[in-house]
Amino acid sequence: MEGFYIRVLIFALVLCFPVFSNLIEHAGSSILILLAVLGLPVCFSKGRRPDLTWQEKGLICSFVAYFVVYLISFIVNALIGNLEQLHTKHLEKEFFLLFFLPVYLLFKHIKLPLWVVWYGVLAGAAVAGIYSMVDTGWLKMGNRVRGAYNPILFGDLSLLMAFMNFQAFRFFRQKHVALVVLPLLGFILGTTASFLTGSRGAWVAIPVLLAILFFQLKRYFKPRVLGAMIGVIFLASFVTYQIPGTGVADRIKGTIEDFRAYSKGNVTWGGGVGNRLESWRAAWLIYKKHPFLGIGPGGYRYAVRDMISEGTLIHDREVYFSQPHNIYLSVMVDSGWVGLVILLSIFLLPLNIARSQIRKKEKNPEAAYSIFILVSGFMIFGLTETVFGRSVFVSFYLIMLAALLSQRHEILNAEPVR
């Protein structure tokens, strides 16, 4: 009976996670910690611990290596005096990445079914859409929708859930043809939520996510049907742009104006494009001085201050963010090219696993395509946001990746190694 109740608890946590992580502060990290604690007995019990392939072990090692490199960079830069203030909080999110191991082994051990993921992301996308419309007064645009944290996080996660939820199309169609309306509704509501946040970094990912989606759908629909779908999407995008209440047109026009101002050397604080570009430039200059292990976690803001004093950076301190707002540059500043290589492995190894399943033409490749959507989304969001510097991003990536990789239909088509 104990095993039954534990399984029910795990299913409930995974099912509720997409909704709670986006709307309740600290819910995502709390669920991640709880799942990790539940997975510890599996890690330390040889009889319960599932066998892992070399690909799985490689992915787990990449998460561990990411934390280890950050820890080494922290210690080394502290010893040589590059870090003015030593705060372990700068290692907190990196430490969370270690939780992938117990969570993944837990999901494999209990054979987490795929339907839990589908219903979870459907609920997450649908609730995000309804919440965003209510928050804006039913499309009467006021302030940008924030969710539990800020518009960027809410917009990014809502968009991911919208596209991941659409992977359940075949799952619901097999149950009853009328149920296909559920993933369609989830897709519409999730993308609506993303648009209402005004999160431009999320919108950049839409063409890539659509390409993944249409590459998959060509298995089920004729070219003219896909062409009609593309036409509907373009029409919907045009209508969304034209409706003043969505704020899409204002955000795009604001982006163009920010680029023009930056090209003329006019950068003031406003959280816009110019601030990001100047922060990226500062991060690149720091990396060039410390290419191997970086300047250490938490050293960016102090390095920027020093470069302003030296005259290397010509703008006032207020122009620069407290971190680069780019996961790649952030890791390069914190831990050098060594950290960047490990970060790329965290993204590319799951993509390679998913690609292997798709190439072998499995009958149910939806989990693999969802991995493509999840990882591709994070890679693109990382261009304008330090995704692994946010606990909600870390928990979402770890739990959803572990859930998709651990399906009972083997995604990894290799013999286990001991």
Residue pLDDT tens, the chain, 418 long: 458 889 999 999 999 999 999 999 999 999 999 999 999 999 988 878 888 889 999 999 999 999 999 999 999 999 998 887 777 888 999 999 999 999 999 999 999 999 999 999 999 999 999 998 888 765 555 567 878 888 889 999 999 999 999 889 889 988 998 998 999 899 989 998 888 887 888 888 998 998 898 888 777 677 776 677 677 666 666 666 556 655 666 667 777 777 777 777 777 666 577 788 889 999 999 999 999 999 999 999 999 999 999 988 888 888 888 889 999 999 999 999 999 999 999 999 999 999 888 877 666 689 999 999 999 999 999 999 999 999 999 999 999 999 999 985 544 444 443 3
Task: Give the whole-angstrom CA distance, residue 389 versus residue 384.
Answer: 12
Residue with tokens 């919440």: 131
What one-character-per-residue DSSP string does 247-284 give? -HHHHHHHHHHHHHHHHTT---SSSSHHHHHHHHHHHH
pLDDT of residue 269: 61
Provide the 10 A C-beta neighbour count for residue 88. 10
Q: Which two tokens stand for residue 61?
A: 């090692």
Give pLDDT, residue 240: 62
Residue 52 dihedral angles phi and psi, to the nearest 5°? -120, 145
Task: Identify the pLDDT of residue 30.
Answer: 96
d(CA 130, CA 24): 15
Helix (H) or strand (E) holding 355: helix 327-359
Q: Report DSSP letters for 122-158, one per residue.
A: HHHHHHHHHHHHHHTTTT---SPP-TTS-HHHHHHHH
Structure token digits, residue 286: 């720091």
Instruction: Give the angle 353-96-17 at the CA atoms, nearest 5°.
Output: 75
| DSSP bridge pairs for 52 | 417
Contact by Cβ (8 Å): 117, 400: yes
Helix or strand holding residue 57 (H, E)? helix 54-79
Asked if residues 193 and 124 have their Cβ atoms less than 8 Å apart, the reply is no
Collapsing DSSP states into helix, strand and coil, what is residue 60?
A: helix
Q: Go through the chain and tell me how many residues it has.
A: 418
**Residues 6+ positions from 35 with CB-CB distance below 8 Å:** 10, 13, 14, 99, 102, 103, 106, 399
Q: Residue 411's pLDDT is what?
A: 45
On whether the CB atoms of residues 201 and 149 are closer than 8 A, the answer is no
285-318 residues labelled b (16+ CB within 10 A) or e (exposed): ebbeebeebbbbbbbbbebbeebbeeeebebeee
**Model pLDDT, residue 377:** 96
* pTM listed for this prediction: 0.91
Which two tokens mark 95? 């430490």
Would the CA dihedral through 311, 315, 316, 321 be positive or negative?
negative
Separation of CA 188 from chain center = 20
Q: Which of 216, 234, 235, 217 is nearest to 226 (CA)?
A: 217
Give the residue among 134, 139, 146, 182 at the shortest CA–CA distance from 162: 182
